[in-house]
């Protein structure tokens, strides 16, 4: 059976969790610091590069699959 879900239940659970955190109970929840803009800018280039590499791999695989259906073998689309 599914648990009831409502805003009142969510608010009560959040309030109970915050009160436990304020009392200092261990492992109630973890607080993560918000990264500053310089850190996010440094990570952005890595994320964009990872995304571009994954797009390149996908396109390379598609090109290879199309060429294989046409009977072309041994073609390297990255050269």
Give residue-wise pLDDT tens across range 39-79: 999 899 999 999 999 999 999 999 999 999 999 988 887 88
Query: How many angstroms separate the CA atoms of 76 and 60, rounded?
Result: 9
Query: How many angstroms separate the CA atoms of 68 and 63, rounded?
Result: 9
Residues found in the chain: 79
Position 49 scores a pLDDT of: 96
Helix then strand count (H, E) for the chain reads: 2, 0
Q: Are 17 and 28 in contact (CB under 8 A)?
A: yes
Query: How many angstroms separate the CA atoms of 28 and 17, rounded?
Result: 7
Assign 32 a pLDDT band (cuts: 50, 70, 90). Answer: confident
Q: What is the DSSP string of 12-35?
A: HHHHHHHHHHHHT-TTS----PPP
């Amino acid at each position: 059976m599914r648990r009831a879900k409502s805003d009142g239940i969510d608010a009560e659970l959040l309030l109970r969790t915050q009160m436990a955190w304020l009392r200092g109970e261990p492992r109630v929840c973890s607080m993560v610091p918000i990264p500053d803009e310089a850190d996010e800018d440094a990570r952005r280039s890595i994320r964009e590069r990872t995304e571009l590499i994954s797009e390149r791999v996908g396109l390379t695989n598609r090109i290879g699959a199309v060429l294989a259906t046409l009977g072309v073998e041994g073609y390297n689309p990255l050269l």
